[in-house]
Structures are given as structure tokens and as C-alpha cells.
Structure 1
Amino acid sequence: MGRKPVVNPSISNGGYAKRDSSGQFDSSDCNNTTVSDKVELKKKVTLLRGISLITGTIIGAGIFISPKGILMNTGSVGMSLIIWTACGVLSLFGALSYAELGTCIKKSGGHYTYILEAFGPLAAFVRLWVEVLAIRPAATAVISLAFGQYILQPLFMPCEVPELLMKIVTSIGITSVMYLNSMSVSWSARIQIFLTFCKLLAMLIIIVPGLFQLFKGETQNFHNAFGVNESPVMGLPLAFYSGMYAYAGWFYLNFVTEEVENPEKTVPLAICLSMVIVTVSYVLINVAYYAVLTAEEMLASDAVAMSFAAKLMGKFSIAVPIFVSLSCYGSMNGGIFAVSRMFYAASREGHLPELLSMVHIRKHTPLPAVIFLYPLTILMLFVGDIYSLLNFMSFVRWLFIGIVIMGLIYLRYKQPQMHRPFKVPLFIPALFCFSCFLMVGLSLYSDPINTGIGFGITLTGIPAYYIFIVWNKKPKIIQKFTDSTSRTLQIILEVVSPE
């Protein structure tokens, strides 16, 4: 099926943003609201905002809570640090590959857009289907739950946080992030910068005292650093998988390419600087953990940063949950900001309702795309088994990222004349593509039941594509209902198609 062009819908009965004969908006129809410039998404993502988007989204709760997964599967301090470093380098390879795609395909949408360009609408729709149906609402709910748990923890220590209260606070957190991204691109970006600095400050609070202990001569935990404890060699792929998951998020700037200032320079530079910052921070914070905690203490801890602070800083450990909650809030904000642009781009291609490609007439935000998954996320938060859902879908991310990188290699041969301002050596995407498919195979081997269920859910996107996209002879009553609903929501939300 060819791509569906976006047509500016008539909303004559609503009184919003009609065009005059010159094609401009008639502000008199906007409830006396002056529309002083074009209604479109503005290029407001600078280099600093790009770095904060990537860095602030990658660094979530995991590095503060449970970096023990890699230690558990490697069995040694030295090997775990090597895995952290190797995963950072390999993630940089993936990020560089996405930097090439982001500079030669200057469209927002990330994975979806690149799969669409390389392999066509069916593959792109299946990726979008899985994102909408399960991955994004579950991922948002999980990071939001971590926010709710840790922001309340200082009030209830040492007791458990009541589950209902935690979910209520979590829903408030989700709502505030959705509202922020709906109202202002600039403010969501500024808050993302602030939260990113908070995350880096939190890591420095751990790194500096830890390295100080190391320089004082507290090196006993590094003696026999490569002495294998109990984990077999087969644990190394699982450790590698955990490490790559911790670095996931380097692709989020590619979701908002159209809003990046000077993307040909900003995208590669922001990606490279972000990955250096994250990799160095991750390795150093693990060195700091090992300088204070033994391997046995790390494996026994459910929150390594809190164990570190309690052992070295005493009462100051109460600040750790606050920093973790701020870190989670930054990941929520960055994820919603970026992924809403995937829905925005997919709507322009006719793969989602046209309403999602519309922009608020005054705020210039993709408001419908931002709030699109809000009801499903809240529903999943209160009634869904979101952790199981994430287990089902954990392999899907790497499967489709591998397909995206394979698309980069394919486009090198299919469209050699394409303008590529930033071009990486071919071995970089080839190695990363192989690593992605290796992780997919590892998922199938280690957890065939859950992975098989996730694969089955993914395949439901194929009939969905033919029912919702290809089939264009739907009953008139359905078409009238969707048109009426779209027009009503457009009036309520005060959105129009961008000029």
C-alpha cells in the first residue's frame, strides 16, 4: 500500500484555524487567539537538549538499583567491568549507525521511519503495532512505578510502601509528564536538562567517595579480580544482554530528528558525546561500588546504591531514593517526548489515526500523539501484569533494532547515491547487527515460552495491517463514526494539521 498523504481536515463547525485564500490561518476563527506563526513542530532541540534527551533517558533506575545482574552472570569483578565497557562500546556502534540514518533520512520516527524507508509499510506497521499494543505502555508503567516507589520510600522507611498509594502517586507522575509534554516543548526540554544534571550529580556523589576510598588503598575487593566464583562461561552472554539493556536509549534523538537544529551536525555529535558520558559514568560508578562493597554484598543487595550509601555515608543514604525517583522521572519525560514523535510520524503515513499528526494551534506540540497511550498506560498500571509483558517483549526491541541496522546496510547498496553527511565504516553496523540477532537468539534459547508468546503477539500485526490499513472498503457507519470522533477531538484539543 502506498503512503497516505496528510490532508488538512475541514473543521468548519468547530471554528478553529480555518485557512484564508492565501493558505494562512485566519486567527479570528480561533476563539480570538492570535496565531502569529506557522502551526508546526519547531526546531527547538539544541545540542545540549539532544545530549540531555539521550543521557537522561538511558540513565534510569537500573544503575542505582541492581547492577548486580552482570556480576551474577560473570562471577568476577574484573570481568563485570569488562562487560560494562564492552557494552558501552558496542552501544556506541549502534548509536553511530543511527547517527548515519538520522543525517541521511531527516524524518522523525526513529525505528519506524527507518524500517519504512528500507523495507516498506508492512514491516514498519508491525513494529508500530507492537510498540502501541504492549511495549510503550508497559515500559512507561514500569519506570513510573519505580518513580512512585522511590519518591515515597523516605516517608515509609524501613517499612514497605503501600501498593495502592504507590500506584496513585505513579499515576500522578505519568499525568504530570504527559501534561508537560503537551503544553511546551521548551519546558519539557529544560526539565530534561535539569533532571539529567541531577542524575549525573547523583552518580558523582557515589563515584567521588568511591574513588577516594580506592585512592586511600581500599583495594581488597579488587584482589583476584578475575577469579571466577560460581558462574559458568555460559553466563557471559546473559551478562552481555543485561549490559546492553542498561545502555538502551541511545536511539531516542532519532525519534525527533525534524525538531533538531542543524541535524547533520547535532545528531552525530549529541549521540557520540552522550555515549561517552554514559559509558564512562557506568564504568566509574561500578568501580566505586566495588571499592566499598564486596561482591557478596552487591549480590545480596536489592538496591546497590542504598547499600553503598548506608555503608559509607550513614544517614545520607536517605537521599538516594530521592535521586532515583528524579532519575526515573527524567526517563519518563524523555521516553514520552521521543516516542510521541513516532506516533506523529506514523500518523502522517496513514498507519495511525490522522488526529495524531496534528499540532496544537498555540503550543505547537503534538498533543494528540503525546496523550495517545495515556488511558492504556494507566489501565495497565492498575490491572495489568506489566513485568510479564515486558518479559514477553524484551527481545522485540533488539529484533527490530537489528532489522533497522540491516536496513542501513541494505540502503548502502539500494541507494548508493543517497546523500550521507555522516557515514560510518561498514563493519560497525555489521557487527552491531550481528550482536542484535545474537541477543534475539539468546532470548529464544534462555526463555523460549515467554519469547514465543512475544513473537506471537508481534505476528498479530500482520493481519492487523491488512484489516486496518489495506482494507479500505469499511462500512460507511464506521467511517462516519471515526470522522465524527476525530472532528470532535480536534475541536476539543484545539489541534490542526501542520502547515
Structure 2
Amino acid sequence: MDIKTVPAVNLKKQLGLISTTSYITGSIIGTGIFISPTVVLEGVGSSVGLSLLVWTLCGVVTYCAAMCYAEYGTRVKKSGGTYTYIREAFGDLAGFVFLWTQLVLVRPLSVVLASLASAEYIMRPLFQSCPDMAPTTSKVMLGFVILGFFVMANMYSVRLGARLQTIATVCKVFALLSIIIGGLLHLCQGHTENFSLPFRTTTLKPGNVALAIYAGLYAYGGWDNVNMAVEEVVNPHRTIPISILGGLAIPTLAYILGNVAYHAVLTNDEILSGIAVAVTFGERKLGLFKWIILPCVAISAGGIANAVIFTSSRLNFVGGRDGLFPRFLGMVNVQRRTPQPSIITLFLVAVLVMCLGDVRSVIGAYSFFKAGGEFLGVLGVFRIRRKHPATKQTYKVHWLFPVIYVVFFLALSITAVVYDPRTYLVPFLVMLLGVPLYYMSRSRWWQSGHLATFNRWIIMICHRLLLCDHASQEAG
């Protein structure tokens, strides 16, 4: 049964400067600053100086890529972020493989990492005397609840999701400011012993350094979120560059100062002892004030899940609208103007991933494939400039920024794969599976067989049960 297309249905422009900046800042500040310090410090051989250099380097490299995306947001008037730019530059096959990787690997892992991190920070204070005894099953169940809450909020309203993101961003900034102020006051009292011989290190291995950098890049992840929803941004030529610049500058400064605070108060052994670094910091320095900080940390981690749900659903939505993914993913709730079928699909895949339990050990592989997609997006900047000529409202970045990012990523990727191929082999094979799937999806058997019938039934269910219809092919 075919459903009549209503071209008028589309996403609505309702994201202003505050909302977009909150999505970027709120997406970046979250699980990374509370998980990655342990991985970064371990990767650089417990060297405080090298650890701070890695955080600074990751901020600079991220800034280079973000400037390219600021140009994209004013040059290409379509949502979808990295997917749209890869498809525009390299064609449908590259776009499909990127979407496939995001659907089955990157985005579900990201939302699960955020939900589990939020659950851990909620439960960790309940097991202060024996933190390792916190039941994994309880963390996973609480993670399900957190994930389900943000899924329902994003299905209900774009504005509700944006307001939750703003609240989470305020909590993130408040928690980080408290940690930074506490650490700087500790330094001003003369406690500088942890910074003596800052570049003293044990064994330094290229593979471990690469993992440390990937952990730092994971912490900066989220700077591209507004590009996922360009069609929903008010005055994108002004809003997108400002929100990217401001949204990235705040976390970069906060990350460097936050790590200085961690190292000022905690010893290397304390930082390396576990993932929940902020809990240890609160117990050492904040006293009773930690009972205000820790909920803020948990909310900030939950805010990452909210942002990933928002952006990932738009990614799958654009893929469905373009015909690279099943068409039901390109449907929008007529009343709420939210891509509900895409949100539900992300939720189901994330649930399967969360059933695996603790997935924090895959931060390196996650960052490798996420940064790999951004690498292809930045690599296509010169081709996209030819396809989409600049106007008076286009923000244009200097050619040196994409060159720096491309060279850095190539050097980092080669080092990581050469020194630890097993970490990246299985996910890489999963990514390559997208190539035969693309050609199968173009075949007559795929388009007219049982899978096509199944897709039509899903479209009918979305139409009748969720009150959804196909979005217009025209961008905002």
C-alpha cells in the first residue's frame, strides 16, 4: 500500500543562536571531560605536561575542522552534516557507507556511552566505599531509563529537546566551573607538587599516544552537531559560524583549565584509578558541595545523549529522504514536526548496543571512525566550493585549516592502525560491509522484493500510528 506524499511537510526553522550554541557546547562538554582524562594520562605515560599538551592539541585540530564546517553551514543549505558533505563531494556510495557506519557503530555507541556515563555518576556516590561493587546490571537498567527519557522528549518536541539541552549545558558549565575554581584555589594555596617535573614519563609508545589523542578528540566531539540541522536554524549565515566559534571556544578553555584542576588536586594514581574522575575530585576538594556537583555531572552526561539523539535522528532522516536509507526514515510527524521513525530506529539500535554492557573500552575505535567521517567531510571542501559557489552570505575559511586537519588525521590514523590493528579491524570490516549493501539496495531484487513490501508496511504503520508523512525533498 502506497502512502501519498505531502510535499509541504518538512522540518521547521526554530533553532536560534542560544539553542545552537547550547547544542554545540552541551554536546562537547559531557562524558569526555569526565572519562577521557584517565585514558589520556595513561596513554602519555602518566606525564602531566604531555597530558595537557594533548588536550590543547586536540582543541586546535578540532578548531581547524570546525572552521570548515562553519563554511559548509553557510554554503550548503541542507541538513545532515558530515553525511551531506561527503555525498556532495564523493557521491552516493561514499554517503551510504558513512551513513551505514554511523547507524550501526558511531551514533549508537555515542548515545550508549553517554547514557551509561550518566548512570555511573548517579550510582557512584551510593558505593563510595567500594565503587567497583556497583552492579553493572543496575547501571545498564538506569541507562535504559535515561535513554528512554531523552528519546521521548525528542519525539515530543524540538523545543523541549532544546530546552533540556540548555539546562544540561548550564549544569555542565556550573560543574566544570566548580572543579576549575576548586583546583585553581588549591594551586593558589601553594599546592604545586603535582606539577613538579611535568614532562617526566615512563614508557611512551606511539600506539598509546594515538589512543590518548583519540580520547581527547572524543571529548571534543559534538562541534559539528548544528550542521546536522541546518534546515532548522534561523538565519544560518549568521547563527552557524557564531555558534560554532563560541560553542567550541568555551569547552576548549574549560577542558584545559579543568585538567589543570584535576592534576592540581589529584595524584596520577588517583586519576588513573577509575573513570569517574569528578567523583574522586569532589570527595577530595568539594566537601558537602559535591552533592550539588555530582548531579550536575550526571545531568551533563545525559545532555550528551540528548544531543546525540537529536543530531543522529536528523542524519538518518536525511538519508531516508534522499533514498539511500529506507524511505520510512525520511518521515516527519505532521503535528510535532519531529522525525519520529528515525528517532525510534536509533533507540532500537542503541538498546541492542547497550545490552552489551560496559562499552567504554571502545572509545578509541569510536573516535577513529567518527573522526574518519569528519576527515572525509573536510577533504571534500574544495570540490564542494566548486559545486556550491559562494554568495555574499557565505563564510569562507582559509585553505590552511582543512590542510592541517587532513594531514594530522592521516598521521594519527596510520600510527593507530599500525600499532594496534586488532582494535580497528572488526569495526573496519563492519564499515566495509556497507559497500555490498549499497549495491544490493540499488538492485531490482531489493527494491521490488519482500524487503520493499516490508518497507511499505513500515511506512503505513508510521503514517497511521505515528501520524507521520514523507518530508519534502526540498531543503528548508
TM over 0.5: yes
The yes-or-no answer on 1:9 pairing with 2:29 is: no
From the superposition, tell whether residues 260 and 462 of structure 1 become closer, same or farther in structure 2 (CA, over 3 Å): same
Whether the 8 Å CA contact 1:130–1:461 is kept in 2: the answer is yes
Whether the 8 Å CA contact 1:398–1:440 is kept in 2: the answer is no
User: Residue 259 of structure 1: CA displacement?
Assistant: 0.5
The yes-or-no answer on 1:101 pairing with 2:101 is: no
Q: 1:177 aligns with which of 122, 146, 150?
A: 150
The yes-or-no answer on 1:73 pairing with 2:43 is: yes
Q: 1:128 aligns with which of 86, 99, 105?
A: 99
The yes-or-no answer on 1:462 pairing with 2:456 is: no
| Counterpart Cα distance in 2 of 1:335 and 1:209 | 30
Residue 328 (structure 1) aligns with: 301
From the superposition, tell whether residues 150 and 315 of structure 1 become closer, same or farther in structure 2 (CA, over 3 Å): same
Q: 2:89 aligns with which of 114, 118, 135?
A: 118
Q: Normalising by structure 1, what TM-score?
A: 0.87
User: Residue 370 of structure 1: CA displacement?
Assistant: 1.4
| Counterpart Cα distance in 1 of 2:448 and 2:66 | 45
Residue 355 (structure 2) aligns with: 382
| Counterpart Cα distance in 2 of 1:265 and 1:332 | 27
Whether the 8 Å CA contact 1:181–1:337 is kept in 2: the answer is yes
Q: Normalising by structure 2, what TM-score?
A: 0.91
Q: 2:112 aligns with which of 132, 137, 141?
A: 141
User: Residue 394 of structure 1: CA displacement?
Assistant: 3.9
Q: How does 1:238-253 map to 2 (within 5 A)?
A: 238-253=211-226
State the secondary structure of the residue aligned to 1:359: strand
Q: 1:488 aligns with which of 449, 461, 466?
A: 461
User: Residue 312 of structure 1: CA displacement?
Assistant: 1.6
Q: 1:447 aligns with which of 402, 415, 420?
A: 420
RMSD: 2.4
State the secondary structure of the residue aligned to 1:496: strand
Whether the 8 Å CA contact 2:309–2:346 is kept in 1: the answer is no
Q: Which residue identity lines up with residue 278 of structure 1 in the other structure?
A: P
Residue 63 (structure 1) aligns with: 33
Residue 397 (structure 1) aligns with: 370
User: Residue 340 of structure 1: CA displacement?
Assistant: 0.7
From the superposition, tell whether residues 61 and 474 of structure 1 become closer, same or farther in structure 2 (CA, over 3 Å): closer
Residue 203 (structure 2) aligns with: 231
From the superposition, tell whether residues 485 and 415 of structure 1 become closer, same or farther in structure 2 (CA, over 3 Å): closer
User: Residue 246 of structure 1: CA displacement?
Assistant: 1.5
Whether the 8 Å CA contact 1:47–1:270 is kept in 2: the answer is yes
Q: Which residue identity lines up with residue 487 of structure 1 in the other structure?
A: M
Whether the 8 Å CA contact 1:171–1:378 is kept in 2: the answer is yes
State the secondary structure of the residue aligned to 2:117: helix
Whether the 8 Å CA contact 1:100–1:423 is kept in 2: the answer is yes
Whether the 8 Å CA contact 2:36–2:216 is kept in 1: the answer is no
Return the index of the structure with the highest Cα Rg: 1
Residue 15 (structure 1) aligns with: none
From the superposition, tell whether residues 84 and 481 of structure 1 become closer, same or farther in structure 2 (CA, over 3 Å): closer
Whether the 8 Å CA contact 2:125–2:279 is kept in 1: the answer is no
State the secondary structure of the residue aligned to 1:489: helix
User: Residue 157 of structure 1: CA displacement?
Assistant: 3.8
Residue 276 (structure 1) aligns with: 249
User: Residue 335 of structure 1: CA displacement?
Assistant: 0.6
From the superposition, tell whether residues 384 and 184 of structure 1 become closer, same or farther in structure 2 (CA, over 3 Å): same
Whether the 8 Å CA contact 1:73–1:231 is kept in 2: the answer is no
| Counterpart Cα distance in 2 of 1:233 and 1:169 | 37
Aligned pair count reads 466
Judging by fraction of residues, say which structure has more helix: 2
The yes-or-no answer on 1:291 pairing with 2:269 is: no
Q: Structure 1, unaligned stretches of length 5 or more?
A: 1-7, 12-18, 24-37
User: Residue 489 of structure 1: CA displacement?
Assistant: 2.5
User: Residue 454 of structure 1: CA displacement?
Assistant: 1.7
From the superposition, tell whether residues 279 and 310 of structure 1 become closer, same or farther in structure 2 (CA, over 3 Å): same
Give the share of equivalent positions with the same residue, in percent.
35
Whether the 8 Å CA contact 2:440–2:446 is kept in 1: the answer is no
